[in-house]
Amino acid sequence: MRSEPYRSARLWLYGDVGCPWSYLALARIRQLAVASPVVVGWRPLAKVARTEGMNDPVAPSPAGAASPSPQAAEFESLGLPFEGPSADFDSRDALQALEFARDLGQKVLDQTLDGLFAANFTHLANLGEREELLDVCRELGLDREALELALEDGRYEAELDLAEAEAERYGIEQIPTILVGRSKIVGAAPKEVLATVVCQAFDTE
């Protein structure tokens, strides 16, 4: 494992690119990071067999039609065009693509993370289809052939397994979950809540 929570980063986000609340949590953390000395770490945690910390931001109405909630409007307020969740998919390939990007540097990881969230929730790409995922990653600047080889040989499977083991060790049962110092926040907490917890964590170090 490249890094361990509580060592090199002050805040860790455990989430999945298939989870809209992980998308919202990341946006709120980025807001906080503009004004605070927050170092953010991403940890991949597939939402398969795991509950999400909040309800979907677009829920079906009794008649079966999608009905935007106030949370959907908040995506827009954060500059995140939101067309609704795409179909559920097995996200392990997408999460491995993020680990591939991590090996190219933090800037590439951040760009790829933002790009995959946008592909899923703005452009409604099917990231569960490997060919479509590879095409999206190529558009984000990743080497398509090198990534395809990494996915075929399962190069980053062990990293996902380690993140799952961490989640069990830290009692993480929902996504997104944010670790700050020894504090744990479940769900896409408002920026003000994050700021308070971060300040408390800094004060105890």
pLDDT at 197: 79
pLDDT tens digits, 111-144 = 999 999 999 998 999 999 999 999 999 999 999 9
pLDDT at 99: 98
CATH code: domain 11-204 is 3.40.30.10
Residues of the chain with pLDDT under 50: 1, 3-9, 49-51, 54-67
Extract the tokens encoding 81. 């065009």
Tell me which residue of 100, 139, 97 sits closest to 119, measured CA to CA.
Answer: 139
pLDDT at 104: 97
Tell me which residue of 20, 14, 11, 12 sits closest to 174, measured CA to CA.
Answer: 14
Residue 92 contacts residue 130 (beta carbons within 8 Å): no
Extract the tokens encoding 123. 């452009």
Question: Residue ranges per domain, the chain?
Answer: 11-204
Residue 4 contacts residue 36 (beta carbons within 8 Å): no
pLDDT at 70: 56
pLDDT at 189: 84
